[in-house]
Structure 1
């Protein structure tokens, strides 16, 4: 890597940092509902009660991952060049979750409200691709 190149930190490339601050807020909102109000969120998305204690904890744990990525995206926002691995794994998770929710909807298991999450996560998937494009254009090492 050319040492004369400008590093893409939060101070020198605020747009990338902004993407990950917004992604962190998006995850915090989702986790706020899903992790801290598990039964209500499940019933809102799937129009059925969450009565089984095992399923409750599994569903809550899935939202716990969302809460974890709130922290991860804040780390990326601080130094977008250094933490590309978080973005790769988070992007895979966002696309995978959106596709699984779409599958649930198409199978009749989920209500149309899931499209809020589906569209949001697909938008972030596209923004994460933009992030990698910016890194590539600036000849930054990815992983």
Structure 2
């Protein structure tokens, strides 16, 4: 019986690719800058220095008009913000908090070349959902050049 179990374990391990599922987007330890935000009405706003960082410990930090902190997890191609975002409350214009509104819920996550696309989940039959298109931030130089 133990030989059968050993053969079964070897077969299962051989079938495993060792890589994440195709629809899983790895966010852990990554940092992104907003390239553009596409609202539900189709209007497009270019990024203006907004960033999102996904910590290896499940922490999320976001900087826009407000600064936000939260916890995240991924399940397949979904990004789930646990218990919402805790944000400063500056006197921001409505379009300056669009990023916070989109990211505060559950989003579908996909990669398209260098882009990370977050699409808000909406109910069936709802208009096109808002999307955030992000680019990876450049890593800081390891040494200053003079």
Q: TM-score range by the shorter chain?
A: under 0.3
Comparing both structures, which one devotes a greater share of its residues to helix?
1
- TM-score normalised by the chain length of structure 1: 0.28
Comparing both structures, which one devotes a greater share of its residues to strand?
2
Higher relative contact order (CA 8 A, sep 6+): 1
The structure that has the greater radius of gyration is 2
